[in-house]
Amino acid sequence: MTVSVIQFGGSNCDRDAVRALEHLGIDAERVWHEDELPEDVTGIMLPGGFSYGDYLRAGSMAAQSPILDDVREAAADGTPVLGVCNGAQVGCESSLTEGAFTTNESARFQCEHVYLRVENAETPWTAAYEEGDVIEIPIAHGEGRFEISEDRYEQLVEEDRILFRYCDADGNVTEEANPNGSRGNVAGIRGDDENVGVLMPHPERATLPDLNGSTDGSGVLRGFETA
């Protein structure tokens, strides 16, 4: 399997993603968004960065790129698709997942380590963990506050679509542990089907040993093997 990591103008985590995936023994290559997806694509990653300089709203311009039609088609056929940070924003803006990631409550760019509680361990992106596990992963975003209408939020909960919530080191989901004001402390969700997942924290920055002090993110990337 080779994961296609889609590079837009302004992506800046595409190389990191390839490196982290290859460290796990998962073949990966960068694909420029104006090029075709390989016919035999077996996994797609939308990486972090500042596509189109976050113009209008983070991820909104990249979501208009024609390659997103192919990504949506591949996702509907069951190809695993993971969006990380700006990739999560592109995922929401292109309707691969619901809701939106908007300006942090602090109105600042935040770069810090956070704890996440695994809410649903039955998806490829969380299967490496147990429900209730607490993992440590970095965030780096200015527009990471998850927003969605109350009705749709309730439905996400009912349908068990929430993958991760921000929590403290003991797994308590509290207001203090919410770095950006996300509704329900939501840090990551899945799409209509489990093969599509998005999250604001960066698993690829918590995969290589001795890089950031945590390798807890590798389980998320391993989803490409299990999906």
In the three-class reduction of DSSP (H, G, I as helix; E, B as strand; rest coil), residue 167 is classed as: strand
d(CA 79, CA 44): 7
Tokens 């919410």 -> residue: 178
Give the burial class of 182: count Cβ atoms within 10 A of its Cβ; 0-12 exposed, 13-18 middle, 19 or more buried: buried
Q: Quick one: 86 or 123, whose CB is closer to ligand GLN?
A: 86
Q: Check if the beta carbon of residue 30 is closer than 8 Å to that of residue 5.
A: yes
- Of 43-51, 64-72, 119-127, 214-222, which part binds ligand GLN (CB under 6 A)? 43-51
Rg of the Cα trace of the chain?
16
Q: Does 162 bind ligand GLN (CB under 6 A)?
A: no
Q: How many C-beta neighbours within 10 Å does residue 213 have?
A: 11
Q: Does 143 bind ligand GLN (CB under 6 A)?
A: yes
On the CB side of 97, CA atoms within 13 Å amount to 35
Shortest distance, position 74 Cβ to ligand GLN, whole Å: 22
In the three-class reduction of DSSP (H, G, I as helix; E, B as strand; rest coil), residue 72 is classed as: helix
Q: Does 85 bind ligand GLN (CB under 6 A)?
A: yes
Binding test (CB under 6 A) with ligand GLN, winner from 43, 99, 138, 144: 144
Binding test (CB under 6 A) with ligand GLN, winner from 140, 163, 186, 206: 140
Q: Quick one: 1 or 111, whose CB is closer to ligand GLN?
A: 111
Q: Does 14 bind ligand GLN (CB under 6 A)?
A: no
Binding test (CB under 6 A) with ligand GLN, winner from 86, 97, 178, 207: 86
Residues noted as catalytic? 85, 202, 204
In the three-class reduction of DSSP (H, G, I as helix; E, B as strand; rest coil), residue 12 is classed as: coil
Shortest distance, position 73 Cβ to ligand GLN, whole Å: 24
Q: Check if the beta carbon of residue 208 is closer than 8 Å to that of residue 216.
A: no
Binding test (CB under 6 A) with ligand GLN, winner from 6, 18, 28, 54: 54
- Residues at the site binding ligand GLN, with contacts judged by CB under 6 A: 48-50, 54, 58, 85-86, 109, 140-144
